Amino acid sequence: MKSQVIVTITLALTIVGCGKTNENGEDEKTMRKNTFASAKQLAIGMLMYAQDNDGVMPPKYATQKEWQKAIYPYFKHEFKSDNLKGGDFVQNPATFGISTKGVDPTLILGYEENAWDDGKKCYFTIAGDVKFLSSSEKPKMTP
């Protein structure tokens, strides 16, 4: 009986430990929470950028690094996706240099480059909302 309990516990711990984790040992649920938090910070930071620039979103930059450098002063921490498939957050090209005045609040401001295993990406709107959506859910990408 005692050996059955030990085997059962060992098996349960092995199954739990088989989930995907990042280099910090965080499970996918934690990684998604971190990604969600980064996306929220990014949305707020980009809106702060717009407030400081007469309501205009960041313009198109030649590289992702230039874009990040332009908006970095609005962040306390580095923003990143914890997606195991890698990739950065990117600004929706349709929002480069647009005015935020009168824009539909559901307009997608930015998103992750790569989808998670379930096919969803983390999107953030011009209103600061964050959500994981699949491509079939058709997020609003144009003003």
Q: How does pLDDT run across 23-41, given as a tens digit for each residue?
A: 667 899 999 999 999 999 9
This prediction's pTM: 0.78
pLDDT in tens, 92-143: 999 999 999 999 999 999 999 999 999 999 999 999 999 999 989 988 899 8
Q: Map residue 10 onto helix, strand or coil.
A: helix
Whether the Cβ atoms of residue 115 and residue 85 lie closer than 8 Å to each other: yes
Terminal CA-CA length for the chain:
66
